[in-house]
């Protein structure tokens, strides 16, 4: 997926051309509100579909409330939310890639459960507000590619962990060229990934944590504008084998140092 900047219209156009070349079936929606699919019961399956809209402030692709869906090779372009989930479930069926491109946001999960296979890609590219936000939720995102995300009005990011959420990324995940931080903890939560993740070329830091726990061994940080990790307010980071941005002080607090940033610690 072409990404040259933050939420760039040219990237959105290029992504639409690419997706239309891949998918045989496109469903186009022109409503100004609501959802293309509103799921209130059961767990239907959606396969091999491209869903397109007419603007990032218009309608959602999927609204899931107290129900679930399974997706398999589904792409969403130019809609508000790709997936708005409230007390619901989102499952990936196979290793096929699922994509949300040039939308307001890819996933908003509130008190919900997300599970993608560990060998499957979920891609959020060129969204204008943020990528994925988990509030009181569990999300195993497989291989996540979050790229070209504009920070929106609130300085948000491609991946946000808040209010007790647990988020898992698998090796190969890439958080690349986003306007704000790569990953943000807005309230205590847990991030775990299985090594060999890259967080690069983001406009602020790789990770910013307001509390919480991050198990980020063997992560590569590179090209982030203000450093790799800023952990504060009782945050704990386990980063054995990680490599940092080329700064004199790429992480805060310094590795293996107690009593700084309101009792935060980075174990390296």
> pLDDT digits over 71-129, tens only?
999 999 999 999 999 999 999 999 999 999 999 999 999 999 999 999 999 999 999 99
Q: Is the separation of the CB atoms in 139 and 161 below 8 Å?
A: no
Per-residue pLDDT tens over the stretch 111-120? 999 999 999 9
> Look-up: residue for tokens 């300085």?
155
Q: pTM of the predicted model, to two decimals?
A: 0.97
Task: Decide: 32 and 57 in contact? Cβ < 8 Å.
Answer: no
Residue 46, classed as helix, strand or coil, is strand
Query: 199 forms bridges with which residues in the sheet?
Result: 175, 221
């Amino acid at each position: 997926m072409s990404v040259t900047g933050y939420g760039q219209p040219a990237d959105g156009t290029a992504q639409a051309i690419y997706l239309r070349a891949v998918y045989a079936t496109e469903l186009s929606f022109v409503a100004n509100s609501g959802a293309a699919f509103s799921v209130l019961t059961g767990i239907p399956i959606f396969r091999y579909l491209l869903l397109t809209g007419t603007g990032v402030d218009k309608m959602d692709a999927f609204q899931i409330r107290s129900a679930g869906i399974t997706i398999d090779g589904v792409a969403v372009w130019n809609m508000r939310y790709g997936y708005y989930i409230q007390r619901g479930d989102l499952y990936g069926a196979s290793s096929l890639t699922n994509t949300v491109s040039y939308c307001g946001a890819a996933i908003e999960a509130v008190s919900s459960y997300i599970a993608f296979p560990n060998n499957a890609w979920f891609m959020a590219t060129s969204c204008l507000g943020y990528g994925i936000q988990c509030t009181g939720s569990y999300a195993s995102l497989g291989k996540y590619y979050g790229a070209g995300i504009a920070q929106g009005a609130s300085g948000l990011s491609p991946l946000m962990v808040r209010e007790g959420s647990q988020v898992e990324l698998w090796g190969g995940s890439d958080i690349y060229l986003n306007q704000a931080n790569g990953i943000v903890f807005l309230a205590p939560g847990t991030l775990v990934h299985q090594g060999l993740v890259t967080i690069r070329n983001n406009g602020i830091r790789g990770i910013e944590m307001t509390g919480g726990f991050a198990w980020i061994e063997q992560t590569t940080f590179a090209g982030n504008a203000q450093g790799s990790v800023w952990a504060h307010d009782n945050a704990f980071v386990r980063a054995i084998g990680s490599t940092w941005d080329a700064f004199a002080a790429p992480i805060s607090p310094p590795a293996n140092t107690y009593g700084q940033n309101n009792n935060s610690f980075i174990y390296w």
